[in-house]
Chain A
């Protein structure tokens, strides 16, 4: 069964740090780009960060650039999100998601058309 399981969320004070993990199973993890998407309470979905299958390319939303770091360990089939200098506005459910690649090499961004597998989400609350 294709599955993503997030962990690492919790309550943290403003300015603090957390590291989220996303354990993947049921597919060749290293072949696919992965993303983090968050959802603040009562709000819509916001793309946060993405990483290529090899881990060599990373991308961030402007709202988290310089504070968050995405990484992956393909030997452990695990995706990470290191979150530093956390702010109240980072409070959200964080989802990891697998890129849907179709019609060509999954190492090329233009063959990605969506996110077909999502984790159950992990909640991050930033509050004093």
Chain B
């Protein structure tokens, strides 16, 4: 099974900061990686798919990059509504997929 490891698991940042979250796969997954945002009590929301494609309606301050085993999600200038938990998901073995353990982003 393909394992995903996100780092950091917890991140404290301020409004306006640039933040980067990393997701590493245990084996190569090409560009079959998606990023989600989840707020408490809500369903996950797709932000990025195919490693770097911005989902329709998602603000351009979110961006994704990477291929193979290392991927990043970057938020260029944090807004108050961005404080949430972020998950990566690999779909190389779709329909079987796995998620990273999550990165909780909190206000400093």
Residues of chain A touching chain B, judged by Cβ–Cβ distance below 8 Å, are 33, 35, 37, 44-47, 50-52, 57, 59, 61, 95, 99-100, 102, 109-110, 112-116, 118-121
Q: How far is the CA of A50 from the CA of B46 in the complex (A)?
A: 18
Pick from B50, B87, B96, B98: contact of A113, CB below 8 A. Answer: B50
Residues of chain B touching chain A, judged by Cβ–Cβ distance below 8 Å, are 32, 34, 36, 38, 43-46, 49-50, 53, 55, 87, 89, 91, 94-102
Query: From residue B102, how far is it (CB to closest CB) to chain A in Å?
Result: 5
With contacts A44-B101, A102-B49 taken as known, whether A112 is within 8 angstroms of B87 at the C-beta atoms is no
Inter-chain contacts of A46 with B (CB < 8 A): 99
Q: How far is the CA of A45 from the CA of B95 in the complex (A)?
A: 15
Main secondary structure of the interface of B (DSSP, over half): loop
Q: How far is the CA of A115 from the CA of B33 in the complex (A)?
A: 11
CB pair B91–A50 under 8 Å, yes or no, is no
Main secondary structure of the interface of A (DSSP, over half): strand
Inter-chain contacts of B89 with A (CB < 8 A): 45, 114-115
Query: From residue B65, how far is it (CB to closest CB) to chain A in Å?
Result: 15
**Given A109-B94, A113-B32, 16 new contacts (CB under 8 A):** A35-B95, A35-B97, A37-B44, A44-B102, A45-B36, A45-B38, A45-B87, A50-B96, A51-B95, A95-B43, A99-B94, A100-B34, A100-B46, A109-B95, A110-B94, A112-B94
